[in-house]
Structure 1
């Protein structure tokens, strides 16, 4: 692929700064695509591959690090009352206005980013012309139930290690982290070793897990943070934007996890990537980007 020009910037937001990068030309014809990372508490690095869509169809692709993460302002002193869905919805609205695209844009959210995108979409913003929900739960209780079902298929010694440390509260013990990685290698990213983009995100979370710890908890399957009771199932019928749902056959976001989007969003198409887990944009990159690009082209 040939190189595409990009520019970075920092948006003032509530006395802090949100970092963003635009790949491609915002003044071009196709819908600009805003990409939101997961977590809550990841960084843009592991979803960086979506910038390739700019090369495919001349579309501007915007990545940003949500507040508290990556190149945006870090706030390790803030507790659970600060890190709310409303905070990140306001940040997204501010970014759309800052870039001058609030009247016409597409949004792609991966994992937590898709949850944020759904929260955004049920408010029926007039400028949202297309929505991509990638590997996202609609109900955290279902997410935890399915994660623990998948966990029961892990080797017995791995399960024993996880349970022992969870009972003792020693969730930062290297043995617990190593055991957790067995689950991650099966159901989060099946490319080994992890690509640099993915590794950078996890390294950043190791350095500052403030947002993830407060909103999610210590691991993907041990959700004890403020999002533990979150659901959007009963509001999905409010989504007006045409929606593409994507997930992987080995995904921690199992078919049961994503089923509410398929069944309750009025105009929703689903693509399941057979060789992927939670990151089709990494595990089956070319196929994933092609599917997203084609969907967006139909709504330009």
Structure 2
């Protein structure tokens, strides 16, 4: 099975984003599938990483085809076609959740959809969407949290448990290089790929390949906010925990995850129990990217939620 680039018409553009601490002009690059003036509530997709560009999220345009739902995607600053700031690598005071909350608010405002929108956040994008939703923005109608995380330690715990199921040789390589602080060694990176093939994406995907290739050109945001990989969280997100505020999310919320997902049950359950109007759908053949691994089922599930909730 292979997921190809979708062929749905779109328009794209750039939005000025005022970030004085950047020391230079900043722009957010965006794409719109469908018609924002159609009268239907637009869906804004937030990609993961942080810092893995939007290409793999383009499958959300299936919702435009099936339901006429306008879909807005954008590359968060620091990646893709938006402004890059490699000079800010390691600057934990700059790369904060609040920075991306502000960027999302700016996108909604500049595209004139702030009074009526839905959010779809995948992985880190779900963390961002949750951080935004607990502020109770008046225009938010529905929320989709795909393989998301409410408390980062739950994610680390799940990743270490899954990692323990890898071949012993792979585990030994990971442990050896982590102890020696040589996580940029090709041997270590190859071992990490073994983890990704089991617990991040289990199918071939052109769009994910494009996102990952773009990410590798500038991993500034990922390395600063997360760390060297999915199970070594040492960046600004190392203390992320919004579980005590989840009750503030009052809109209908759909939670999705995969059986082999890094977002295991222990990761999703706090979101499910904490968000009052939430329901949770598990995709049995998927890991961290059900929207690519079980694309049709996921899009049918999300489409039904958005059109009936």
Q: TM-score range by the shorter chain?
A: over 0.9
How far the C-alpha of 1:7 sits from its partner, in A, is 0.4
The answer to whether residue 25 in structure 2 is matched with residue 21 in structure 1 is: no
The answer to whether residue 125 in structure 2 is matched with residue 121 in structure 1 is: no
Aligned residue in 2 for 1:5: 9
Aligned residue in 2 for 1:182: 194
CA distance in 2, matches of 1:128, 1:5: 25
CA distance in 2, matches of 1:121, 1:205: 27
Cα RMSD over matched residues?
Answer: 1.0
CA distance in 1, matches of 2:118, 2:74: 14
The answer to whether residue 162 in structure 2 is matched with residue 150 in structure 1 is: yes
Aligned residue in 1 for 2:81: 71
How far the C-alpha of 1:209 sits from its partner, in A, is 0.4
Provide the secondary structure at the position in 2 that maps to 1:203. Answer: helix
How far the C-alpha of 1:169 sits from its partner, in A, is 1.0
Q: 2:8 touches 2:61 (CA, 8 Å); kept in 1?
A: no
Alignment counterpart, residue 50 of structure 2, candidates 15, 37, 40? 40
Alignment counterpart, residue 277 of structure 2, candidates 249, 258, 267? 267
Q: Which residues of 2 match residues 163-174 of structure 1 at below 5 A?
A: 163-174=175-186
CA distance in 2, matches of 1:210, 1:119: 22
Unaligned runs of 5+ in 1: none
**TM-score under structure 1 normalisation?**
0.97
Provide the secondary structure at the position in 2 that maps to 1:108. Answer: strand
How many residues end up aligned between the 2 structures?
A: 296
1:52-101 residue CA offsets vs partner (Å, 9 max, x unmatched)? 11001001000100000101000000122110000000000000011100
How far the C-alpha of 1:4 sits from its partner, in A, is 4.1
Aligned residue in 2 for 1:51: 61
Alignment counterpart, residue 234 of structure 2, candidates 220, 224, 235? 224
Provide the secondary structure at the position in 2 that maps to 1:150. Answer: helix
CA distance in 2, matches of 1:174, 1:274: 32
1:2-36 residue CA offsets vs partner (Å, 9 max, x unmatched)? 96431000000023000000000001122100000
How far the C-alpha of 1:182 sits from its partner, in A, is 0.7
* Runs of 4+ in structure 1 over 6 Å off: none
Provide the secondary structure at the position in 2 that maps to 1:55. Answer: helix
Q: 1:42 touches 1:69 (CA, 8 Å); kept in 2?
A: yes
1:173-204 residue CA offsets vs partner (Å, 9 max, x unmatched)? 1110100011101110011xx31111111112
Aligned residue in 1 for 2:3: none
Provide the secondary structure at the position in 1 that maps to 2:161. Answer: helix
How far the C-alpha of 1:149 sits from its partner, in A, is 0.7
